[in-house]
Chains A and B, each alone.
Chain A
């Protein structure tokens, strides 16, 4: 058996699980979005979805949160990596602490402290800025930045090991200044993992549901919240609307996933 075939056989169980669970769910979602209860298949649900200004408001809101959270996390992660290079394991561990904390816990803690009627609100008699329930989704972005920055920093730190230090030394010997070393030695090393990690973060935030539900504004809502509200607004037809709305995020996340795989491949080839 060739190496390629053995590799294919090795991933078969994982592939089977993913295609049955997620592929099946996606097929079910497509069916729900096309076939109403006791009716015939049609594109009505999709037409109504794309005609609903509230859906587009949710799309804009979701995209804004995704871009802001991803760009801020990526920028902070690069700064953190540069600051942490060569520091002790203890310091690196401390930075990584938020990674295993569930998003829900972070959001719930933010609500407990910062929400209207929360502990800080009561202690200070009103907060100067609304972080929780902010109309622009500031609180949502901050929760994701808090969670994803250490995640990205870990990816970057893994890429910046001893080999990088040696290459930097070599560059220094050849007369490169500190900025030149960052530009020509460090950046090319971290760019791959940074782009890959950012795509993962973006795909994750696109599906944001529990964090905006807890710390987000009354309106607008993210696409996942829109889907949830659709099912409570109209119990029968809402299911199709919810399925269609979630399928749009699923497709967007898959596009990002394909992008991430491509980035990872080019990284390997280099």
Chain B
């Protein structure tokens, strides 16, 4: 019984305790503090940033990204006089909820979240609620290397970015199979269905609302249309692992099943995941990435700054640094992360362009990610997941 109270308490006492101490400032007005003021020149921002500690809330479940931040980003930030404090979270929603709790408590400045790595629903929800610092991202010096016409840069799950977040990473949804067992993996969704019918129980995908499972469902829906896509998944279900009665709960579980040889196909929204898994020894060395149907679901993930952040200047300088050709090139290097850059390399000076070398290649990374399928609108993701649950899981 104590635990039931705790369940209620754990989720909500944060809101209350902050509320108790911050209620005095509620009367001072609720306008975003910096939105109205003219932006100072970036040199002034850099000056203000010196000595600040930027608390960067980010998904902490990827060892390679953590290592990149700790070993590449942190030393580079130190040169600009900024200390990076990585706050690892299991779900990006946690960071947004923290900001919501602060705002609920009337805390309009001095907030505990300086920078968040996010996209999609998390950004859209915060934008709707007016949580983010406005009109800063395109003023970063390194933003001049971005393609301002590219819809993946100017919109985030179809929500206009409006200078409230700076792009950081590009993701593409790829599949993987063991070339020793499956030299010619299914070429498209219909071939995947045929494969599952011929080999019942050898294919599965994580159940939405898991991040990867939800992306797989969106990939199917993007390729086939909403109703036809769900009908396709329903047809596929009885031929899945355990006849579709149960789905893996996460990408990690799916990867385990693939690594054990219990499933024939793995998938991830990280275009370089095969390389990482082979290096870790969890996938066979003969594993190769592939695309279903010459296209892949792609998105860009961004960095946003809460309007009430305590270290807004430091956060902007760090976001600019993360967008710099040097750090973007390090991230795109297959030996570091192998994540495609968000910069338009054609706009870079020749010396910087050379850093990026040839597009990622080698057996574990696809050089051609196919035609990009764009993400659905952020607000449609949760209803899609609910529909999948109703029609595919229960049906």
Set B8, B209, B249, B386: member contacting A29, Cβ < 8 A? B8
Q: Mark A230-254, 1 if CB is under 8 A from B, else 0.
A: 0111111001001100110110010
Within the complex, which residue of A37, A122, A227, A228 is in contact with B260, where a contact is CB–CB below 8 Å?
Answer: A122
Complex: chain B residue closest to A28, CB-CB: B16
B99 — nearest CB in chain A belongs to which residue? A235
Hey, which chain A residues are within 8 Å of B130, CB to CB? 38
Q: Once the chains are docked, how many angstroms separate the CA of A239 from the CA of B105?
A: 14
- Nearest-neighbour CB distance to chain A for B167, whole angstroms, equals 21
**Nearest CB of chain B from residue A51's CB, rounded to whole Å:** 14
For the complex, is B80 an interface residue (Cβ under 8 Å from A)?
no
Interchain pairs with CB closer than 8 A, number: 142
- A186 surroundings in chain B (CB, below 8 A): none
B180 within 8 A of A: no
Q: Is the CB of B257 within 8 A of A231?
A: no
The interface centre, meaning the residue of A233, A247, A256 with most chain B CB atoms within 10 A of its CB, is A233
**Per-residue interface assignment for chain B, residues 186 to 210, with 1 indicating a CB less than 8 Å from any chain A CB and 0 otherwise:** 0000000000000000000001010
Residue-wise, chain B 106-134 has the 8 Å CB interface mask toward A (1 for contact) of 00000000000000011001101110000
Q: Are B262 and A25 interface neighbours, CB within 8 A?
A: no
Chain B interface, number of residues (Cβ within 8 angstroms): 50
- Which residues of chain B come closer than 8 Å to A22, judged between CB atoms? 5, 9
Partner of A25, one of B16, B91, B393: B16
B97 and A25: CB pair below 8 A? Answer: no
Residues of A within 8 A of B385 (CB): 233
Interface residues in B1-22 by Cβ distance below 8 A to A read 1, 3-9, 11-13, 15-17, 19
Shortest Cβ distance from A251 into chain B, in angstroms? 10
Instruction: Please measure, in the bound complex, the distance between the C-alpha atom of A32 and the C-alpha atom of B13, giving whole angstroms.
Output: 10
Known: A130-B242, A204-B1, A218-B207. A227 touches B125 (CB 8 A): no
Report B-chain residues with C-beta under 8 Å of the C-beta of A260. 1
B residues lining the A interface (CB < 8 Å): 1, 3-9, 11-13, 15-17, 19, 30, 91, 93, 96-97, 100, 103-104, 121-122, 125-126, 128-130, 207, 209, 241-242, 245-249, 253, 256-257, 260, 262, 382, 385-386, 389, 393-394
Question: Which A-B residue pairs are the 8 nearest by beta carbons?
Answer: A28-B16, A207-B4, A25-B9, A203-B1, A235-B125, A218-B207, A133-B246, A253-B4
